[in-house]
């Protein structure tokens, strides 16, 4: 299994566990809030680099 597939499988597993233990709105808030907070924690140069890399991979 590739690295990205392992990360995706872990994310799905974590989401399912959160849905079981928490109300759906709290789980959704965590699942959407953590990546958004991580992105906002980057400085502007890191954000530009991240956007440039994702665009380059889309064009492949």
pLDDT in tens, 38-53: 999 999 999 999 888 8
- 7 sits in which H/E element: helix 3-21
Structural domain tally of the chain? 1
Percent of the chain with pLDDT over 90: 23
Residue 17 is part of which domain span? 3-58
Gap between the Cα atoms of 60 and 45, Å rounded: 23
Q: If DSSP codes are grouped into helix, strand and coil, which group holds residue 35?
A: helix
Is the pTM higher than 0.75? The answer reads no
- Angle at CA of residue 33, ends 56 and 10, nearest 5°: 70
């Amino acid at each position: 299994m590739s690295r990205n597939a392992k990360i995706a499988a872990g994310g799905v597993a974590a989401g399912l566990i959160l849905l079981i233990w928490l109300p759906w709105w709290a789980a959704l808030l965590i699942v959407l809030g953590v990546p958004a907070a991580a992105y906002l924690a980057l400085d502007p140069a890191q954000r530009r680099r991240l956007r440039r890399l994702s665009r380059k991979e889309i064009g492949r």
